Structure formats: C-alpha cells, structure tokens
Amino acid sequence: MIYPSRGKVCCSVTTLPVMPQDSQLQETVPCGSDSFPIQYCVDDLSQWRQQSVPLHWHPYPEFFSVASGAVEVQVGSDRLTLAQGEAIFISGNLLHGYRQPAGTSTCLCPNILFSAQLIAPVSSSIYNQYLLPLLYNPEIPYVVFKPEVEWQQQILVTLTHLYTLLSKYGPASYYPSNPDEFLPKHQVFSDCFELEVLQDLCRIFHLLYSNRNQLVQKELPRIEMIAQIRFKKMLAYIDRHFAEKVTLQTIASSANISRSEAGRCFQKYCSLSPVQYLMKRRIDHAKHLLRSTSLSVKEIAAQCGFQDSSYFIKAFRKHVQMTPLHYREAGPER
C-alpha cells in the first residue's frame, strides 16, 4: 500500500461537501451510471461539517479505506476505529457513518459504491453462489481488512489499484475532488480500464469467498433490523411534520412503538433523544432559510415549527452560538 505520512496532505476544497439524503437518511447520489454503476471518491473528513460523514444508507455495497489518519466508523449500532492502511466493506442497506477522531488533522479516505450487477446479473449462478452470500448476508454486515493478514492485504492492494484506475480514467465524482497523490497513478496504464475494474472486483470477491470461513460473523439480529426500520419511519415522520406541533408521543406513534422504545432507537443510532433530533432538524431548516431566503425571523420561526419567535431565537443561539440575524449576516459558509 502506498499512503502518505499523517498530516502531509492538504485539501484544496473550500466549500463544505453536503450529502443529499431523503427523509429516511438514504443517500440520493446516483451510483455511477446505468452503463457503469460504480462511484469513486476521496473523502477528506476534515472538510465535512463536524468532521463527519453523516449517518446514511444506500442499497449499494461499499468499500471504504483510510489513506491517512484514523476514522471512527458506525455501522448500525456498532462503533469501531480504522487505522491508516485499513479498510472496511459494508453491506448494502445498512445505516453507517464516518467521523474523524478529535485532535487529528487531515483524514483522506478513498471509497467506492457499486452495483453487484456490474460483476454478474442477479439471475446468474455467479451472483447467487458467490456474491449474494457476501453482499447481503445478515451474519456479515461488514468486514474489516488489516494489512497484517495476508489475504486481507491482497484485498487492500487490489483496492488501491481499483481506486487508481477510477481516479485516472473514471468519471468525475459527484462530491468535490480531494488530493489523491497517495495513489500510484504513474504506475498504472490501461486502454480498457472498465475491464480492469471488473477484474479487480472479481479478485476481491474471489478472496472474500475463498476466506469466508475466516470472516468474523456478527449476525445482524432480527431485532436490529426491526429497529432500523422503526428509526427510518420516525425520521420520515419528523421530516414531514417538523413545521407542525410534534411531540414524543406522535413521533413514537409513527412507528407504532412506545415513547421509551422511540428514545432507545434514537440513542442507538444518533446519540440524541427524539426531541433533540426534532430540534436539530428545525434548526437546520432555519439555517437553510436564513441563507437562501429573505424571510423575516418571525416567518422562519413559524415555518420551522416554533410558535414563539423569542423561543426560536433562544434555541437558535443555543445550538449555533449566534442569533439568526448574525448567522444570516455571516454568510452561507457556516
């Protein structure tokens, strides 16, 4: 693996990246194109708001590597830390997010999302015999790759080659580009990079399948899957109704659960209570309106579910450390 020394790479991105998500936290960025369904990018977590990629999910499997620094990863309710040179594979449809540990500087993380149909059609024996047991297996929600394990090191090397091909020859990412000088692009040449990308993916899954008995099986219990469904239902309810009168009871009722169970769901996945998340959603929308409209503070308060503009100003100051008007005057890059 060819990686830079910690803190040696500086990002030139000046605007904070934003992940488009729907009301249930699904990332809505297309995964490549219909003809070549794979998306590559390099995330610099120091450039994201609060140095973290927010909790999200998508139907696509993901490989996420750490080229510099370290990364705190959340998959479902599990939390783990990846060191420089390590990587993780995350199955599709699982809530996950990434955070740069406090006290660290630049954190560069190349990663890909892809459709398994890039490798083989869903109806094929290749997909059903070799891919499906790894891609959407509740007993293997994620796999961590470490360089000291030989077959995992082979996957890490193959991922580096795959990232290099996509960086050098692939289409531009939706997200702002970040430096990827850690990739050996001067060593990689191809006049058929799509075939080489496919070859690399096949090699990775060949290694995973051949070593499947060594994978740490951590079954995603049925109760965990149900909890994620309930959590998404409550998020969708808040997103639709945050401008109205919302209570803990109405949030819980949207998922047909008790208030205490609603509280446990939110603490498990976002370390907030339902009411705290509701307030965050309202404040985030208020910030958007302050940046993008000329509405008065009173009008914005009403559109964000605050019946009292004085209470809105107090709540906004508590969460943003400035008044709504000062936030508007400070400009959009906050």
* Least confident range of 63-67, 209-213, 277-281, 328-332: 328-332
Please provide the DSSP assignment of 194-249 as one string.
HHHHHHHHHHHHHHHHHTGGGS------HHHHHHHHHHHHHHHHHHHHTTS---HH
For the chain, percent of residues with pLDDT exceeding 70: 93
One-letter amino acid of 108:
L
Cα Rg of the chain (Å, integer): 22
Query: Which residues, 6+ apart, have CB-to-CB distance to 172 below 8 Å?
Result: none
CATH 3.30.930.10 is right for the domain spanning 222-330: no
pLDDT reading at 154 higher than 90 = yes
Alpha-carbon distance of 49 to 29, in angstroms, equals 18
pLDDT tens for each residue of 91-116: 999 999 999 988 777 889 999 999 99
Alpha-carbon distance of 267 to 265, in angstroms, equals 6
pTM of the model: 0.75
pLDDT tens for each residue of 227-268: 888 998 999 899 899 999 999 999 999 999 999 999 999 998
pLDDT given at position 14? 44
Confidence tier at 8 by pLDDT (50, 70, 90): very low
pLDDT reading at 184 higher than 60 = yes
Mark 120-136 as b/e (b = at least 16 C-beta within 10 Å). Answer: beeeeeebeebbeebbb
Out of 3.40.50.620, 2.60.120.280, 3.40.190.80, 2.40.110.10, select the CATH number for domain 38-214.
Answer: 2.60.120.280
Alpha-carbon distance of 218 to 139, in angstroms, equals 5
Please state the φ and ψ torsions of residue 259, each to the nearest 5 degrees: -65, -40
The better pLDDT of the pair 140, 334 is held by 140
pLDDT given at position 137? 82
- Structure token pair of residue 149: 């394990």
Sequence ranges of the domains in the chain: 38-214, 222-330
Alpha-carbon distance of 309 to 301, in angstroms, equals 6
pLDDT given at position 312? 96
